Amino acid sequence: MADVPTAADMPMLGLGTWENEDHDQCAESVRTALEMGYRHVDTAQAYRNEDAVGEGIAAADVDREEVFLATKVWISKLSHDAVLASVEDTLDRLGTDYLDLLYVHWPAGDYAPEDTLPAFDHLQDEGTVRHVGVSNFEPRHVDRAREVLDAPVFANQIELHPLLQQAALREYAAETDLNLVAYSPLARGDVFEVPELTDIAEKHGVSEARVALAWIRQLGVTAIPKATSEAHIRDNWGSLSLSLDDADLETIEGIDRTDRHVHPDWAPAEWD
């Protein structure tokens, strides 16, 4: 079994569950991943699969304490009292009494730093949440969150892949000791259609998915690719054994594209 590198105590390869809405399929993919060696599972209130994720964790032959479990509070639940009530429901669905990482899903909707973030502090103080995170935040949002929170901002989860390399956010994270977590790290399958990635994949005898995930890891960023089949879960896991050389990294860095797949109406103004 491959060793999973960690960022702080967060495994740098996890299983994403966005759009994994079939209950039985989701539970089975979580169980399969954990028994394969994954120790990081990511979900969200908005994914409507927390109960299935919890079922998969319970079914796996892995102790809960070995699993880094992360979820996110949706934008309509970000008032102080709604955070506390919704997280209680989340814990019930997941079948756990604590979360390793709890994110603000977007700086949007009911999000107001002075109202929202003290609830996150409260959850950490009482031991319900080990780490506080944010998602889809730009530097100005993270700076403001840091001003309000007593807890450190542990991570920012963002869309990041070879076609959206997020150089500015990566630089900011490096300068401020902030972990980055990449969602949609395979660009929703588009990495399979990029000639530069195909050339690197053929050179190493691996898939384009493994190339993209290895590149993200070598940047020091955690990746949480969604996968449902055992074959895809295993292929992503194989990225841990791939080391890209300087020429590979330079080639990927030279891919001059900004292909954003997630851009809802409430996204930060910087995205326009």
**Six-digit token pair at 64?**
């809960």
DSSP state of 270: G
**Six-digit token pair at 151?**
């807890």
Query: CB neighbours of 65 closer than 8 A, spacing ≥ 6?
Result: none
Q: Return the half-sphere exposure (C-beta side, CA atoms, 13 A cut-off) of residue 74.
A: 13
Q: Return the half-sphere exposure (C-beta side, CA atoms, 13 A cut-off) of residue 256.
A: 0
Q: Which residue reads 């991943």 in tokens?
A: 33
End-to-end CA distance of the chain: 43
DSSP state of 244: -
The question of whether 47 is a catalytic residue gets the answer yes
**Six-digit token pair at 86?**
């919704």
DSSP state of 136: S
CA–CA dist 183, 32 (Å, integer) = 20
* Closest residue by Cα to residue 190 from 163, 221, 228, 217: 163
**Which listed residue (38, 47, 103, 111) is catalytic?**
47
Q: Which residues are catalytic?
A: 47
